[in-house]
Amino acid sequence: MCRWLAYSGSPILLENMIYKPTHSLIDQSLHAKLGVETTNGDGFGVGWYGSARESPAIVREIGPAWSNRNLREIAGHVRSHLFFAHIRASTGSAVQQTNCHPFRHGRWMWMHNGAVTDFHRIRRDLVTAVAPSLFLDIEGSTDSEVMFYLALTFGLEQDPPGAVARMAGLVERVGHEHGIEFPLQMTVAVTDGQSLWAFRYSSQKASRSLFYSTRVETLRSLHPDLDFLREASDDTRLIVSEPLGDLPGVWNEVPESTYGVVHPGGDEMAPFTPR
């Protein structure tokens, strides 16, 4: 199990989302409330775009986020309009930098919470389904990275929801062939630096928690005292594994088997079905 957050909107210091909220991601690294485990101390990562035209920067380390000084420094000095942050609780694979999220390919970033059930049993079948030219770039040993490279194989850069659906479909088919009843459990965030897609799905239809923030204009009327909201652009959105605090009206659950997309000027949600 892991916890993550994805931010898209007015450029802000990363610490505003990673450190400052009451139940920030750093707090979740020690005291997650909705996860399988309360501790997420097996590495972390943060990825941000300087501009929508560049590849993102990705900083990942293998220790816990709560005590990491470099993360504190970066979050306190770097501003971005679109960033991911992830804290990891390993479900067995090695604690190493190449297993930390987010993963990057060109301008794309990917992060995941959940698991491919019995991944070690079907890893070989999944890995060999990755396009040979993409296979070269797999560096770690996680299910999450293989899911990313399968989605890239299936056209992530052209049709994100379609490619993720095909990835999920393959994982379920291969899992079922190996007698695995519920092969996939996932919340996934993926972005190209402009749009941000988030997916909530599990074979068992009992997916890990996922929330999105209410529209900024609604929040402004609910909480006229919050300075932060005055500066946030109307299309600012946050998608998180679990709410960053208890402020009423801020957090909405992403429905089961659903994906959403946030892009400059709008957003939408739609059902998600593996192909």
Residues interacting with its own copies, by CB under 8 A?
Answer: 30, 37-39, 41-42, 48, 50, 54, 57-64, 66-67, 69-70, 73-74, 76-78, 90, 93-98, 120-121, 123-124, 127-128, 132, 135-136, 138-141
Residue of 45, 44, 40, 66 lying closest to 57 (CA atoms): 45
Give the nearest distance from C-beta 176 to its own copies in angstroms.
Answer: 18
Give the nearest distance from C-beta 221 to its own copies in angstroms.
Answer: 33
Q: Which helix (H) or strand (E) holds 262?
A: strand 258-263
Give the nearest distance from C-beta 198 to its own copies in angstroms.
Answer: 24
Q: Which is nearer to its own copies, 95 or 269 (CB)?
A: 95
What are the b/e assignments for 106-124, b being 16+ CB within 10 Å? ebbbbbbbbbbbebeebbe
Give the nearest distance from C-beta 78 to its own copies in angstroms.
Answer: 7
Q: Which is nearer to its own copies, 58 or 222 (CB)?
A: 58
Q: Which is nearer to its own copies, 61 or 267 (CB)?
A: 61
Give the nearest distance from C-beta 99 to its own copies in angstroms.
Answer: 9
Give the nearest distance from C-beta 20 to its own copies in angstroms.
Answer: 17
Q: Which is nearer to its own copies, 59 or 226 (CB)?
A: 59
Q: Which is nearer to its own copies, 77 or 176 (CB)?
A: 77
CA distance 174 to 274: 13
Residue of 227, 220, 272 lying closest to 250 (CA atoms): 220
At 72, list the tokens.
């504190």
Q: Which is nearer to its own copies, 63 or 169 (CB)?
A: 63
Q: Which is nearer to its own copies, 74 or 232 (CB)?
A: 74
Do 37 and 14 form a contact (C-beta atoms < 8 A)? no
Do 110 and 175 form a contact (C-beta atoms < 8 A)? no
CA distance 85 to 7: 9
CA distance 160 to 133: 19
Torsion of CA 253, 258, 262, 266, to 10 degrees: -90
Strands 211-213 and 266-271: unpaired
Give the nearest distance from C-beta 173 to its own copies in angstroms.
Answer: 18
CA distance 150 to 129: 7
